[in-house]
Amino acid sequence: MTILTPNSPTAELQALDAAHHMHPFTHGAGLGEKGARIITRAEGCWLNDSDGNRILDAMAGLWCVNIGYGREELAEAAARQMRELPFYNTFFQTSHVPAINLAARLAELAPGDLNHVFFANSGSEANDTNLRMVRTYWQEKGQPQRQHVISRWNGYHGSSVGSGSLGGMKGMHAQGGMPIPGIHHIDQPYWYLEGGNMSEDDFGLARAQLLEEKILELGADNVAAFIAEPIQGAGGVIVPPATYWPEIQRIVDKYGILLIADEVICGFGRTGEWFGSQTMNIRPDIMTVAKGLSSGYQPIGASIVSDGVAKVIDGVEFNHGYTYSGHPVACAVALENLRLLDEEGIVTRARDETGPYLKAQFETLTDHPLVGEAKIVGHMGSIALTPDKASRARFAGEAGTAGFITRERCFANNLIMRHVGDRMIISPPLVISKEEIDTLIERARRSLDEAHAQLQEQGLM
């Protein structure tokens, strides 16, 4: 068979893709008809496709390429490690240098007493680990009835059966037998669409207190943990009201329930600090990390675990692990990524310079007739599209149509933004420059203008 290359004709690449490649979260037949966009190369914040377009990637891939594309140092780290030790496992009382170094570095970076690391290959796997770990923890603590885990509707924790059950995506639950038993969802702190006439602060408190209600309903002694993203990402970059997290922390403390912060998106500088837990001022017992850990250059995730939880888990044989837990090449690349993020001041510059600039520019979009609000923390932000700003109204017709139309206009203008329903999202590489931010905003504005005209034409507003 012919092996295609990045220089092969787009139509050929698309035809072979449609014939054999099943895509995640995609209507396969629909894509087959349209043909996938084929990304061939990337540098910094810019992608090239097989038609020769140069596209500004305001999503950092899937929220992961924090360091930007094309870093030679990471390719070198991978090549060096592949030559030295391409694989060894960390089961059965063995270890290797990259896993040792990376675990130690994560313990150093993570806040508080989060000093212990269990490796996985993805965020989904790390959350599966967390689910089993918190249940095992309570079993070993002599409270085996504490098996229930509380999470949130419209949270995202992954796509495996365990992590997909922890997540609160109803479209996912409808396929394949999720959620598994023992997982309970409470409503999200999404003021813009669900807050009604309440103030943001009152609404934040009310939504946090749903956790207490659920705990009491299940019986406080039966609850193992609460899991949440510091800022919901895939749910639409939903920044909780300021009152939300302090109240959640109060409640988990009061009932002695473990707090799992899913930092898969928020981690590694995305919210300004190294971790979203620091930005939101919370004290998790476990943090889930992935994505920015290697800036997406290698698949790797991890659970970063407190002294207290690790001590209990270390007291038994934890019958859990993945062949590639702590894969040496992934660890070596992640370690080099963390070194560059730190030593080149990428995280601090994103926090102190480009983050504030991005926020100021992004918030100017609220003067656009389609935009009801703009929310941004660090390098993750979203705007709500609306036909009527004053009432925060939804569009006529199917939810998500306006978002889809806007996303298509962004594509046409060589800008990658994502839509979740009728919210438009950005999560650019942390290395995005001020000039590139200007380009992002200019293209977003143009795309919004075009979407606005199209929505009016179609009678959707």
Out of 71, 135, 148, 157, the residue judged to bind ligand PMP by CB under 6 A: 157
Q: Rounded to the nearest whole angstrom, what is the least distance from the CB of residue 264 to ligand PMP in the complex?
A: 3
Out of 47, 134, 234, 374, the residue judged to bind ligand PMP by CB under 6 A: 234
Length of the chain: 461
In sequence order, the 6+-apart residues with CB closer than 8 A to the CB of 257 are 150, 215, 220, 223, 224, 225, 226, 251
**By the rule CB under 6 A, 282 interacts with ligand PMP:** no
**Cβ-based nearer residue to ligand PMP, 99 or 265:** 265
Side by side, the strands of the sheet bearing 46-49 are 39-43, 46-49, 54-57, 415-416
Q: Rounded to the nearest whole angstrom, what is the least distance from the CB of residue 300 to ligand PMP in the complex?
A: 9
Task: Please tell me the distance from the alpha carbon of residue 9 to that of residue 58, in angstroms, as a whole number.
Answer: 26
Out of 61, 68, 98, 158, the residue judged to bind ligand PMP by CB under 6 A: 158
Task: Please tell me the distance from the alpha carbon of residue 394 to that of residue 417, in angstroms, as a whole number.
Answer: 20
Side by side, the strands of the sheet bearing 371-377 are 371-377, 380-385, 423-426, 418-420
Tokens representing 113 are 């007493």
**By the rule CB under 6 A, 122 interacts with ligand PMP:** yes
**Cβ-based nearer residue to ligand PMP, 236 or 328:** 236
**Cβ-based nearer residue to ligand PMP, 233 or 429:** 233
Q: Find the DSSP H helices in 196-315.
A: 200-218, 244-255, 276-279, 307-314
Task: Please tell me the distance from the alpha carbon of residue 361 to that of residue 441, in angstroms, as a whole number.
Answer: 7
Q: Hey, is 143 helix, strand or coil?
A: coil
Q: Rounded to the nearest whole angstrom, what is the least distance from the CB of residue 130 to ligand PMP in the complex?
A: 10
236-268 in b/e form (b: 16+ CB < 10 A) is: bbbbbbebbbebbbebbeeeebbbbbbbbbbbb
**By the rule CB under 6 A, 233 interacts with ligand PMP:** yes
Give the total of residues touching ligand PMP (CB under 6 A).
15
Q: Rounded to the nearest whole angstrom, what is the least distance from the CB of residue 159 to ligand PMP in the complex?
A: 6
Q: Rounded to the nearest whole angstrom, what is the least distance from the CB of residue 326 to ligand PMP in the complex?
A: 16
**By the rule CB under 6 A, 261 interacts with ligand PMP:** no
**By the rule CB under 6 A, 229 interacts with ligand PMP:** yes
- Tell me, residue by residue from 293 to 332, as one string, x for binding to ligand PMP by CB under 6 A and - for no binding: --------x-------------------------------
Give me the residues that bind ligand PMP (CB under 6 A), please.
Answer: 122-124, 127, 156-158, 229, 233-234, 262, 264-265, 290, 301
